[in-house]
Each structure stands twice: as structure tokens, then as C-alpha cells.
Amino acid sequence: ILARLGVSVASSIADATHFITDQFVRTRNMLEAIAFGKPVVTHLWIESCGQANCFIDERNYILRDAKKEKEFGFSMPVSLARASQHPLLEVNMWNL
């Protein structure tokens, strides 16, 4: 599906447009994706894009894990929306 849509797997989260996973795990890549405000979506998004033969709105495919979100006290959609407006890992060159 990725090749047909002209997409390649990014070598870093900074270069990625989306993070695809089916479960919430506190890995460096996932936490960076959230901090950068990259949409964290399930594999169903890729499958749906493949069926439509184009990229579709990812909002209905954002990963939700009520147990983990409650355990860590966050909401994935809210966290992604906030981070996309003000990335947590944004580097300000003037402060270096």
C-alpha cells in the first residue's frame, strides 16, 4: 500500500508525517511522535488509504487506549492537537 501511494518509511520521527501502531507503548519513537504532534494512527488508516487509493483524513483513525490514557492522565487527540500547535520538541535556534 505504501509503495502504491508513493510513500516510504521515514528514518526518524522528525521526518515522518504519521506514526502507525495498534497499541500504546511508551517507546522513544511513540513519545517523540506525540511530542511533535504527528498523528498516531492504527494500521486501519493505511488500509483505508489503500482502499481509497489516496490519503484520507486520519482523525477517525487516531489510536485510542482508554486504559493507558487514564493511567497516564492524558487524551491522545488532545495531546496531538496541542503538540501540533506548539511542538514540545521544537528547537529554538536563538536559545542554543
Domains of the chain: 2-85 (3.40.50.10190)
DSSP reduced 3-state for 68: helix
Name residue 92's beta-bridge partners.
none
Mean pLDDT by 10 residues, the chain (96 residues): 90 93 93 93 96 95 95 92 77 48
| pLDDT at res. 95 | 45
The answer to whether the beta carbons of residues 74 and 30 sit under 8 Å apart is: no
Phi and psi dihedrals of 95, rounded to 5?
-95, 5
| pLDDT at res. 90 | 57
| pLDDT at res. 88 | 66
Q: What is the model's pTM?
A: 0.83
Instruction: State how far the Cα of 80 lies from the Cα of 48, in Å rounded to an integer.
Output: 21
Question: What type of residue sits at position 80?
Answer: L
| pLDDT at res. 93 | 47
